[in-house]
Amino acid sequence: MGRTSTAKDRLIDAMIELIWAGSYGSTSVDHICERAGVKKGSFYHFFESKTELALAAIDHGWTEHRKELDQIFSPVVPPVERIMHCFRNFRQEQEELFEKHGRVLGCPIHSLGAEVSTVDERLRDKLQEILSQFIRYYESAIRDAQAQGSIVTHDAMALARIVFAYSEGLLLHARMWNDLGRLDEFESGAKIILGVKG
Amino acid sequence: MGRTSTAKDRLIDAMIELIWAGSYGSTSVDHICERAGVKKGSFYHFFESKTELALAAIDHGWTEHRKELDQIFSPVVPPVERIMHCFRNFRQEQEELFEKHGRVLGCPIHSLGAEVSTVDERLRDKLQEILSQFIRYYESAIRDAQAQGSIVTHDAMALARIVFAYSEGLLLHARMWNDLGRLDEFESGAKIILGVKG
DNA sequence: TTTCAAATTAACCAACTGGTCAACTTCCCA
DNA sequence: TGGGAAGTTGACCAGTTGGTTAATTTGAAA
């Protein structure tokens, strides 16, 4: 069976960190290897290319994040509360990243998507897929909220897209201004969009 | 006085096109020079560095765009109509880019900001400044709309930020999905956010 | 204890990166 | 018309890029 190794995981972790903190273009294979404590030969033993590692890293990050989202958007929780909890979670995550990196990093899927979607179609397809899945959390929460009459009755899909675009825009601004405070208006903004009653 | 040249402008135009169509990281000095039909020596005759050209290109692009915005957001036009007109203008601009590049390119300030804001602080500052200026168009239109009672009466600044974040999110999705259709919901989305009456 | 698949390593590669420079050409203006 | 400021050129640089290779070391399992 040969020997075992954690190098693959270390490479994935390093890739996620470096892309998130910087960008895809600013993240070189050498940087990744250095951060992971892995020699370049080993890199190419585990991954065919830089793109391939990025794909694996995105997959891994999303799989982890989905676990949290599945809890936050549990049908047991009141629907509007799900969305608010999600936003509070965003903020908390960004706070942790800020403590670690000294910077607000925003949403990596979004930032990466803006950068590579016209350049690398395999990455673009993967990011598309993740965003499509993400929006479904909002969609079903919104539908549930509408069913119980606690928000406005527009097309649920349309509302979900607005909330989603809004949250991504806000995260980008927080990144650009390196300002956690920008995330404070998350909940009040969502309430305005959704016309939350009471 | 020496001879004159259009090389500087050609470099700026090439930079804007290449960044918009791809990314900052994917745009090399060699590519820019080739596109502009300028030798590298000339490049560094006109600009101290790649960053400096990017700065000049962003400045130039924004100066041009402001001319349009000043017309669209003229106080003569009914305030809600200003915002709708702005969105229709976005869509039309993206259509033209699509015909030229075969791709929806989205907002270059936004895409560039997502990519470089943790990496190049001079670019980040410039992009911040532009976005700050942009949001003021929405803000004053919203205030005017509120004064004439045609939209909901929330804090104008907060509403402007929501509309702004929303529009940027939508433009990014259009870029990622290479789909002009995503921009169709611009106006209806803005009406939902702003609670447009009638 | 042997075996051999799997992991590691360092040296290597060509192409490309942003940037420099000194020589040369152009052509505006006095 | 000629002087000189401004623009052009191509050769050059050291460092970095993503990626390759063959030899070597390791350790899980038979």
Write the CATH number for A40. Answer: 1.10.10.60
- Residue B61 included in any domain: no
- Chain D bases near protein Cβ (<7 Å): 4-12, 16-22, 25-29
Q: Is residue B67 part of a domain?
A: no
pLDDT of residue B105: 98
How high is the pLDDT of residue B49? Answer: 98
Q: How confident is the model at residue A2 (pLDDT cuts 50, 70, 90)?
A: confident
pLDDT number for residue B2: 80
Chain A, residues 148-167, CB within 8 A of chain B, namely 152, 154, 158-159, 161-162, 164-167
What is the mean predicted confidence (pLDDT) over A80-102? 98
Boundaries of domain holding B24 = 1-56
pLDDT at position A95 is: 98
pLDDT, mean of residues A89-93: 97
> Are B79 and B171 part of one and the same domain?
yes
Asked if residue B32 and residue B109 are part of one domain, the reply reads no
Same domain, B93 and B182: yes
Name the domain count of chain A: 2
A147 within a domain of the structure (yes/no): yes
Q: Can you give the C-alpha Rg of chain B in angstroms?
A: 19
Domain-located, residue B62: no
**What pLDDT was estimated at residue B1?**
77
Same domain as A147, residue A78 = yes
- pLDDT-derived band at A3 (thresholds 50, 70, 90) equals confident
Q: Which chain B residues touch A117 with a CB distance below 8 Å? A: 175-176, 178
Statement to judge: residues A48 and A77 lie in one domain: no
Average pLDDT of chain B to the nearest whole number:
97
Q: What is the mean pLDDT of chain A?
A: 97
Instruction: Tell me the count of A-B CB pairs closer than 8 A.
Output: 140
Report the residue of chain B nearest A165, measured CA to CA: B169
Tokens 């402007």 correspond to what residue?
B160
**pLDDT value of residue B197:** 82
Q: A137 near A180, Cβ under 8 Å? A: no
Which one of B28, B31, B118, B161 would you mutate to disrupt binding with A, by most A Cβ within 10 Å of its Cβ?
B118
CA distance A146 to A143: 5
User: How much is the average pLDDT of A153-161?
Assistant: 96
Of B25, B128, B166, the CB nearest to A23: B25
**Prediction pTM value:** 0.95
Residues B52 and B140 in one domain: no
Is residue A35 domain-resident?
Answer: yes
Residues A135 and A93 in one domain: yes
The verdict on B173 touching A (C-beta cutoff 8 Å) is yes
**A36 CA – D27 C1', rounded, Å:** 22
CB distance from A135 to chain B under 8 Å? no
Instruction: For residue B39, give the nucleotide whose C1' atom is nearest its CA.
Output: D9
Question: Among partner residues A23, A103, A168, which is closest to B115 by beta-carbon distance?
Answer: A23
The residue ranges of chain B whose pLDDT is under 70 are: none
Name the percent of chain A lying above pLDDT 70.
Answer: 100
With a pLDDT cut of 90, the percent of chain A lying above it is 97
Convert chain A into a string of H (helix), E (strand) and C (coil).
CCCCCCHHHHHHHHHHHHHHHCCCCCCCHHHHHHHHCCCHHHHHHHCCCHHHHHHHHHHHHHHHHHHHHHHHCCCCCCHHHHHHHHHHHHHHHHHHHHHHHCCCCCCHHHHHHHHHCCCCHHHHHHHHHHHHHHHHHHHHHHHHHHHCCCCCCCCHHHHHHHHHHHHHHHHHHHHHCCCHHHHHHHHHHHHHHHCCCC
Q: What is the pLDDT of residues A101-147, one digit of tens each?
A: 999 999 999 999 999 999 999 999 999 999 999 999 999 999 999 99
A89 and A173 both lie in a single domain: yes
